[in-house]
Amino acid sequence: MTVGISQPESGLQEPVPIQNHRGEHSGSAAVTTAVRVYCRSDVFTIFSESNQTIRHASLGESFENPNPRIPVGTHYRVWWFWLPLILGGIGLLTAMILLPVAKVLAALVGLCAIGCFIWSAISSMVIVRGRRWLEFDGDRLRLSDRTGSIEFTDKDVLDLTIIRTQHHSGGRLVAESRDLRVGLETLSGSRTVRMTNRMPPFGADPLDELIERLCEHLTNRAITTLARRETVEGENWRLNSDCLTVQVTRQAATLPVASISAVETIGQEVRIWTEGNPRAVVRLPLATRNTWLLPRLLVQQPVESGDLKVTDEKSPPQNQLGRILFERTSGPVASILFLMIGLILTMFSVVTLYLAIGGAEPVGIVLGLMLGISSVICLIGAFRVQRTRFSCYEHGLERVAMTSRQTLPFSSIDVFSFESRRNRSQGRYTGTTYTLVFADRSREQGRGIFFSTTVRNTDDELEILRERVSEVIARRMARSFARTRRVQWTPELWFGDEVLEFTRPRRFLTGPKLAIIPYDTITEFEIRDGLFHVWTNYQERAVISVKTSSANFYPGLIVLEGLVNAHVRESVDEWTPSSPVR
């Protein structure tokens, strides 16, 4: 949804658009309805895309509840409360029906129903004990529960622990939860309070502004502490102006700050690299106390002293691909399999040669030698397969196979395909298969990189790689579009000057058809179940449905967002109300 808000002091003015996107975890965005908000004096009016008034009210009505009460604890929307309650009710009704004809069976069913009710009652007690509410009153916060309330300000906060969790069902993202643990310094001593929320996929966190405010406050305090040459601490790490000390497997490792070349948050880890080493030397779980603070401190410029000189990235190392962000290896299964086959073939080779030499049989000798050669090949393969890996670097990719090694910088990739497919066996979810193809048209055929793996639910690192590659190709596509005003997206889609061209596939008894979709008619687009759908304001059903596994689909999606948003902004700027707001 695009929203524009004008300032009430300056009368009726043109709005400023703000974007609102939605989509599935595989990555999508949509621009829905254009909505304009105009203010004059103490009155605001909201217009829809068709210039119809949605709401007309005074500004005082929009602040009826200046101190909202946000639930940040347990709630009753959990299966372990409702399931036993429903089963208990069904069991009780069943026992009443069976009582006249089967008293023993009715008694057993009734006991099970009573057990379900007891379970539900205990669950209710747990929920009641964990219910909490947070209220804002200026810069003060009030956290209330069944035992009372506690008030605190930003200055009372000592540390933060932010734990974010994704919840999946059948490989599909169904919800996201956030557990915020705040360490406080109160008059009665130090204590920790918890604030948890569960949001729909890609939904807004009600405490986003509070979390960012507290993070900024703690960051500024930590920078001041380092400037005084004091130590900032977190869980399993300590940082001063000279060095970083990390607790790794019961041992403390000390890294001079000047030797740290980069720090980055990837997935649920904070990773740190040092000069001359492409691999991350430190990996800290993000869901620990104050670990989120470490990247902010290591990329800060010095405040007073000149000690902290770590920047986000130093000059590229000698390796043209830079530091290694993550790797995928074949694992021990393939190596063990090659080793077992090699040992079995060795045993058969020795036995065959022994019997053949003793009986002077040339055929047996040849067969034994062939088995021996095969066993040597398998044993060599057992060691060679350990080196196979797929590596994502800072500036490119590397694929090491048993007999070859390929590198591909991001700047050379011009064909990229990404597919995530949920697998099912007999109706049960068995995993998600990721398939990635990278190619450079300037190279000879077959010189691209192919990688496929199966994981449980999702793989954050592979999706981060998808975004990195897509952004590089999208910039190249945008530059080409700016020059020629026409560029290919997928085999079926082309970007035109003012329209999106879609070649419908050939069907039975009909040839391919060309569909023209102006950018300013697109109202929504999204990804669902591996298909990309586009809706317009002149047709209820989707006018475009293509597979997301098509070549260069994700880079083109970024370009489409930019083109559609640009046309939405132009339409908002050109629109003026037909009558003044009164």
Q: What DSSP assignment string belongs to 10-74?
A: G-S-----B------TT-------EEEEEEETTEEEEE-TTS-EEEEEEGGGGGS-SS-EEE-S-
Q: What is the pLDDT of residue 12?
A: 34
pLDDT of residue 123: 92
Q: What is the pLDDT of residue 510?
A: 64
In what helix (H) or strand (E) does residue 217 lie, and over which residues does it extend?
helix 208-227
Most distant CA pair in the chain, distance: 112
Distance CA(110)–CA(93), nearest Å, equals 9
pLDDT, residue 425, reads: 87
Residue 224 DSSP code: H
The whole-angstrom separation of Cα 449 and Cα 330 is 16
Class of the domain covering 220-315? mainly beta
Query: What residues contact 254, with CB distance under 8 A and at least 6 apart?
Result: 243, 244, 245, 246
- Where does 4-78 have alpha helices with state H? none
Note the CATH architecture for domain 473-574: Roll (2.30)
Contact present, 415 and 438 (Cβ < 8 Å) = yes
- State the Rg of the chain over Cα: 31
pLDDT, position 465: 92
Model pTM?
A: 0.73
The confidence score (pLDDT) of residue 9 equals: 39
The tokens for 293 are: 């603070």
Where are the alpha helices (H) located in 5-102, listed in sequence order?
A: 79-98
> What pLDDT is stored for residue 308 in this prediction?
37
Query: pLDDT per position in the chain (582 positions), as tens?
Result: 333 333 333 333 333 333 333 344 333 333 333 333 334 333 333 333 333 333 333 333 433 444 678 888 888 888 889 999 999 999 999 999 988 888 899 999 999 999 999 999 999 999 988 889 998 877 788 888 888 888 888 889 999 999 999 888 888 888 899 999 999 988 778 888 899 999 898 888 899 989 999 999 999 999 999 999 999 999 989 999 889 999 877 788 888 988 898 898 888 899 999 988 888 988 999 999 999 999 999 875 443 433 433 334 444 444 578 899 999 887 778 788 888 988 888 888 888 888 888 777 788 888 888 888 888 888 888 888 888 889 999 899 998 888 888 888 888 888 899 999 898 888 888 999 999 999 887 665 557 889 999 988 888 899 999 999 999 999 999 999 989 889 999 888 999 888 888 887 766 666 667 888 888 888 888 888 888 998 888 888 888 888 898 889 999 999 998 888 887 666 555 544 444 433
Query: Residues 243, 256: contact at Cβ < 8 Å?
Result: yes
Measured distance CA(133)–CA(17) in Å, rounded? 33
User: Is the separation of the CB atoms in 29 and 557 below 8 Å?
Assistant: yes
Closest CA to 247 of 199, 272, 296, 284: 284
d(CA 198, CA 178): 7
Q: What angle do CA 174, 176, 182 make, to 5 degrees?
A: 165
CATH number for the domain whose boundaries are 133-206: 2.30.29
Task: Give the pLDDT score at 53.
Answer: 36
Sheet holding 389-393, edge to edge: 324-329, 389-393, 396-400, 405-409
- Which amino acid is located at 404 in the chain? S
Residue 275 near residue 259 (C-beta atoms within 8 A): yes
As a whole number of angstroms, the distance between CA 119 and CA 125 comes to 10
